[in-house]
Amino acid sequence: MKKLLAMLLALTMVLGVAPAFAEEAETYELALVTDVGTIDDKSFNQGAWEGLVQYAEENGISHKYYQPPQQSDEDYLATIKLAVDGGAKIVVTPGYLFEVAVYEAQSLYPDVHFILLDGEPHDADGNYETKENTAPILYAEQQAGYLAGYAAVKDGFTKLGFMGGMQVPAVIRFGYGFVKGADDAAAEMGLEAGSVTVNYTYTGSFNATPEAQSMAAAWYNDGVEVIFGCGGAVGNSVMAAAEAAGTYVIGVDKDQSGESETVITSAMKGIGASVYQTIAAYYAGEFPGGVTTVKDASNDGVELPMETSKFMSFTQEDYDAVYAKLASNENGICDAIPTNPTEDNGQPATAADIATSVVAVTIIE
């Protein structure tokens, strides 16, 4: 019997056909490719993955995530190919770092649909094009940051910190909104100029590092009361420092209240919900390809998780009032929140360039 099986296997190899008793390769209909983080980063990647998994499990659809070996357009594109070869009908790519790779992939794989979060597809020379099989989704991070800064000052905090990860557009917008929200709240409360301060920095990565934790610890030791940890696992470094100091943290992207008792609220983007909704639209034959969707307060795309927030005096009524202003752009409130100011050389300006009436910003290099 063994000899017969061996002969049959040899014959099928020669003829180039698969043996009838061979197992079919496993395929995965929904795929997510991570950028520089992982699906358990407690932040952006995890939020996107949770939205995909929720839809997949509710509807019995196979799913898998893929992690590129390195951070480069070539590695991203090669990993997307792995997902496509693995049977993916939809590939979710969380982060602007995928813009060039998705630009290429949307033409290479016209039958595959791509959900690009935080970016729009363009080539290496900055020429933008979004094909019908790609749905870019952007978020008004400046509005989420605004809500966090506004709430913190209204809740009585006057010594704030912003610790961003990489100095990329989304993180920049979070930070600028945070400063503007804090300043507007301070002005409404009639506080004196300089009575609210913000330490402001970018760590240069989205990783939890001893250096980030040491800096956060030094800020807390110097009197900072709450730090907005805005950069993936950077927030874990801030939380560790806050736990040691008995101080507070503002989380980012998703509700991070479960990560540490020090988290008083989180500047959230509706990442999981937008992934879920876009996948659902695909299966309903209504995939929003070819156009960019912007998620902001007007369509419930950003928020603070008030149910889990640990504010002392900032109430649901206070939150509803400021949220309604953002949703309707009352008196141009949204237009007044800076997004990505640039210097004459085209490089991002610093938060110190944001016009404030009360808040004093200190840039930490």
Residue 6: pLDDT over 70? no
At residue 275, φ and ψ (nearest 5 deg) are -65, -50
The total of other beta-carbon atoms located within 10 Å of residue 98's CB is: 29
Angstrom distance (rounded) from CA 226 to CA 214 = 15
Angstrom distance (rounded) from CA 38 to CA 306 = 27
Angstrom distance (rounded) from CA 84 to CA 137 = 21
Confidence band of 344 (pLDDT split at 50, 70, 90): low
Please report the DSSP string for 261-324 in residue order. Answer: TTEEEEEEE-HHHHHHHHHHHHHTT---TTS-EEESGGGT-EE--TTT---SS--HHHHHHHHH
| Per-residue pLDDT tens digits for 266-287 | 999 999 999 999 999 999 999 9
pLDDT (0 to 100) of residue 2: 42
Least confident range from 153-167, 223-237, 326-340, 347-361: namely 347-361
30-33 sheet: strands from edge to edge: 63-66, 30-33, 90-94, 113-117, 134-139, 293-295
pTM of the model: 0.83
Helix residue spans in 25-64 (DSSP H): 44-59
- What average pLDDT does range 108-112 have in this prediction? 98
Residue 347: pLDDT over 90? no
87 CB contacts (<8 Å, ≥6 apart)? 27, 28, 29, 62
Query: Residue holding tokens 């970016």?
Result: 119
Angstrom distance (rounded) from CA 54 to CA 69 = 26
Residue 352: pLDDT over 70? no
pLDDT (0 to 100) of residue 269: 92
